[in-house]
Structure 1
């Protein structure tokens, strides 16, 4: 099966992909098979090897010690890493400069980005809240300026790596939204430096029990008077939602790459199992039912991969492709759940054990339909791009605005 994109795959990109593949099969997959589980953690030794490969600085400019590559190469690498362990492809995303590259002045980039490349300054983002899933414009965590410090109060949810990160980026409301159409205004972003393995003063973290995405913990955070230096406001006050939105295309491409990597791992394992497993006197790969399943799986993976290549090329070319980024995130994540489920079926009862990594691919593939915007959110973005905003969306915005106004009055 082809993993090359016509007109996209240069010799350099093939070398980058193949090196990531070799690294994954040798270094990532064995660790994942040994440690994946509720109590397993990505070992520091593996993180150090990721640093040696340059994977914490894929998209960081060479001037700061990074590889200076684009979203295309970033997704090539992360697809391969996810073939071993999706969490490893995700911890790579906790570098790349994140919000620092997007919003910080040059002196802060010089101070922070080399540390990011060395794996010494990895971040975690606190956006969502217990009552605010996909509707991030409705967050209620508040930040009030007190002299030279911002004081943050509220709750955050789904903050993965909050304990192990070296800094947190927390989104909080600094002013009320002016209208239903501009509910995103008034949200600001703050960088909170912290000691690795601990939470800053005024913050408590409680792990959320989950069925997958192991290797690190995901937290619910309670902020009670967390104080942040005034200079650690990232970007313009009240406009952090726009800052976040600018990164969605790359983030959704990255999730699509992770989904494709999971599906590729499931396909390869299913092919290997089908050629070895015998029933009724012959390998199950000889039966048409199995052969057609594998043919369909391979086709769907390749279709998602080629769409991803197109989207990555558009992003790196500087062209807007929010609709297409939603398309590939939606298509690839839905595909990954189907493919990993089919692969598990090929394994039969063996697939429903922890003796094979197929159950890990299956569990993690299910998550790709939820994070970085659910499949339904992606469909909404695509539909709005094609059909315009619906009356229902306007009504929802009105109700959300009324709810936010009520919360602001209560807080006052």
Structure 2
């Protein structure tokens, strides 16, 4: 793993120390086993345990409940560093943060005091259950049922494409407690060992094989009303409020993967000689590397701009969609170009750039496809579509 060519602008000395710690953990504990772990489809639970014990799984949340009280501007750059070392870890931290969002922002004081410390720094790992086999982009049409039974709820249905499905310690679940549409959905915090909860065999994917993505089945799972998050029927509002922040997490992860690919490409171009000269001397190669670096810097600037809006309490939904769109498209382009820099070697598993290229693709799909991001941006510009 070459030294990253990143000059960061961080708001405080504490943030600089934090990024130095993250970079050290990434280089010593995560990156060395990344290629082997992905090839073996091995989930890096020890890495998440280490990050939790180091206070890195709850960075954007309140210190009162075990969080790091860090602004998104800093948290996203931590995600970028982790994703550059191994996307399974960086994206996993982003998903974990997403799964904590409902309780941290909509839970009661009692709920937060009871559950958040273990979720943010107690070694637990979360999953976020919104998508279903028949409702991906159209999340408001979800079918998983939540039926009231005394002081409990009974959940029945199947969630799909769940990161950490089968290995998570808790699941934030959106289920239909009322009528059709967005207003009939409620959020629940479900323990990973709840009776009736099971996970299917993980999907066989193009990349990120170390991160289990699986359907999660709820076969009459009984959940106390004390684990209902927010009001009945408020679930879709809760879900949407989390997705803007989650999209910024994906944007940061995409730039991390792209930066890792660029660093590998630059190092290789300097070492590889053809016609008696390093290939980095040829103008065609230099221009290619320059374009890759420019796309990365543009994406980083955009996601940080959106993060600063969020930190200031200002609307950032449009900018989050823009960042997710630009950064993930850039990651796909940069990783493809990195393979080209390596030539035939780039197409082999002997070098990590082919893995980066396979991993980049999923980032254009998760947390709302890039076509959905364009729809979101257009609505901000031109208003809702005519019916």
Instruction: Assess same fold via TM > 0.5.
Output: yes
Larger-Rg structure:
1
Of 18, 36, 45 in structure 1, the residue corresponding to residue 38 of structure 2 is 36
The Cα RMSD (Å) is 1.8
Matching residue of 2:147: 144
Measure how far apart 1:216 and its partner are.
2.5
Which residue in 1 is equivalent to 2:119?
116
Q: Call closer, same or farther: CA 1:355–1:383 in 2, change over 3 Å.
A: same
3-state DSSP of counterpart to 2:7: coil
Residue 48 of structure 1 pairs with residue 46 of structure 2: no
- TM-score normalised to the size of structure 1? 0.88
1:323 to partner: Cα distance: 0.5
How far does residue 14 in structure 1 lie from its aligned partner after superposition? Answer: 3.2
**Structure 1 segment 245-256 matched on structure 2, within 5 A:** 245-256=240-251
Report the more deviating stretch, 185-194 or 294-303. Answer: 185-194
**Structure 1 SS opposite 2:182:** coil
Partner in structure 1 of residue 295 of structure 2? 300
2:104 equivalent in structure 1: 101
1:126 matched to 2:129? The reply is yes
From 26, 29, 32, the counterpart of 2:28 = 26
TM-score (norm 2): 0.93
Bigger mean CA deviation after superposition, 381-390 or 47-56? 47-56
2:203 maps to 208
CA–CA separation in structure 1 for the residues paired with 2:87 and 2:197: 32
Does the 8 Å contact 2:196/2:221 carry over to 1? yes
Of 299, 308, 327 in structure 2, the residue corresponding to residue 332 of structure 1 is 327
Give unpaired runs (5+ residues) of structure 2.
Answer: none
Q: Which residue of 1 aligns with 2:187?
A: 189
Distance 1:251 1:296 in 2: 27
How far residue 168 of structure 1 moved from its aligned partner, in angstroms, is: 1.2
Deviation sequence 1:241-296 (CA, Å, 0-9, x none): 10111122211111110000000000000000111111222211111111110000
Indicate the residue corresponding to 2:17 in structure 1.
15
Change (3 A) 1:363 1:148: same
Mapped pair 1:171 → 2:174: yes
Q: 1:38: how far off?
A: 5.3
Which one is further off, 378-387 or 163-172? 163-172
**Contact 2:95 2:163 (8 Å CA) reproduced:** no
1:3 aligns with 2:16: no
For 1:38 and 1:175, locate their aligned partners in 2 and report how far apart those are by CA, in whole Å. Answer: 43
Where does 1:320-399 land on structure 2 (aligned, <5 Å)? 320-391=315-386, 394=387
* Cα deviation, residue 213, structure 1: 1.7
CA shift digits 1:349-383 (9 cap, x unpaired): 11111111112211111111100111100000001
User: Could you list the runs of 5+ residues in structure 1 that have no partner in the other structure?
Assistant: 178-182, 395-412
Number of aligned residues: 381
Q: 1:155 aligns with which of 139, 154, 158?
A: 158
Deviations 1:132-174 (A, max 9, x none): 1111011111111122221222221101112111111221111
Residue 119 (structure 1) shift: 4.0
Give the conservation status (yes or no) of the 8 Å contact 2:152–2:224: yes
Contact 1:2-1:302 within 8 A present in 2 as well? no
Is the 1:285–1:291 contact (alpha carbons within 8 Å) kept by the matching residues of 2? yes
Q: Distance in 2 between matches of 1:225 and 1:308?
A: 41
- Is 1:231 the counterpart of 2:226? The answer is yes
